[in-house]
Amino acid sequence: MPSHLNHHIDLFISHLRIERGLAELSIDAYASDLSRYALFLEANEFTGVTEDDTYAILKHMINLRDEGLGSRSRARHLVSIRSFYRFLAEEKILASDPSGVIDFPKTGLKLPDTLSVSEVKQLLETPNTKTARGMRDAAMIELLYAAGLRVSELIHLELNDINLEAGFVRVFGKGSKERIVPMGQYAMDKLNLYLTTARPLLLKLHTSRTLFVARAGKPMTRQGFWKLLNKYTLLAGLEGKISPHTLRHSFATHLLEGGADLRVVQVMLGHADISTTQIYTHITGDHLRIMHRTYHPRG
C-alpha cells in the first residue's frame, strides 16, 4: 500500500496499543480490517485517505456484502474504519471524519438510507404530469435523482445551467465549485416537457432566470421542496420519510452497485472539481456520459 497510508495506519495501531491499551487480539482485528480496507483503496487507485471518502467506505461495505460477509462481520469492519477516520480527524490529519454518515444499529450494519430501483421508479411516476405543477415536480425529483444533486443545488439552478442537447446539467456545489453532470434521457424528457409547457404557465406574466419556479417566478425554498417530496412519498405509498439526500445516496449506491467506477461517481457527486480530477483520474465529459448511461437505472 502507499507509504503514507501505511504510516497513518501504523500511527493508529500505535495509538490503540499505547494510549488505549487494547489487548493484542483486539489490535490484530483492527489491523486486519484496516489492511483489507487499504487493499481496497489500492485496488481502486487511491493514494491515501481524504475527507471525501464516504462513498469509498460505502463501496467497500458493498464489496464485503457481495463477498458474503455477514452483517456482524461487516459491522466490525465499519467499527475499525470509523475508529481509524475518527482518530485521523482528532489528530488533525484530516479536517473532518467522512465515515460519520455511515451508521449501524446494534442489530447489524446500516448503510445510509437508500431506495431500491423499483421504489425510486414508483416515486418518480407519482406526480400528475397533466398539470403544470405536476410537470415541474416530476422534473425536479427526476433531476435530483438523475444527477445526484443536493437540494440546495437543485433549487438554485438557472435556465442556462441546463443543456438538453448535450444532456448535461451544470452545478455549483459547496465552495462554489462547478461540476458538469450527465442527466439521462428520462430527466431530459421531463425537463423538456416542463420548459415548453409548464414553466410558461407557472410564470404567467413574470420573468425569471431560475429553472424551477414557484410563486411569482421566485426560486423554491428548501422547506418548500421538502414538503413537496414528502407529499409524493405519501402518495407513492413508501414507508418512512424520504429526504432529498435519500435520493442522492440512492443515486450513488445504484451506480456503485451497477459497477460504476468509484472516482466517476465521486466526480458526479461534486467531491472534486471537474478541472482538478487528477487527484482521482482524468475523466472527460464523454466518459462521464457513457458511464452514466451504462450504470444509472434511468440513464
Which residues participate in catalysis according to the annotation?
Answer: 150, 174, 245, 248, 271, 280
Owner of C-alpha cell 442527466:
183
Q: How far apart are CA 299 and CA 258, in angstroms?
A: 12
CA–CA distance, 280 with 296 (Å, rounded to integer): 21
Angle at 205 between CA 199 and CA 207, to 5 degrees: 65
Query: How far is it, in rounded angstroms, from Cα 297 to Cα 254?
Result: 7
Contact 27, 59 (CB under 8 A): no
**Size of the chain, expressed as the number of residues it contains:** 299
C-alpha cell, 292? 452514466
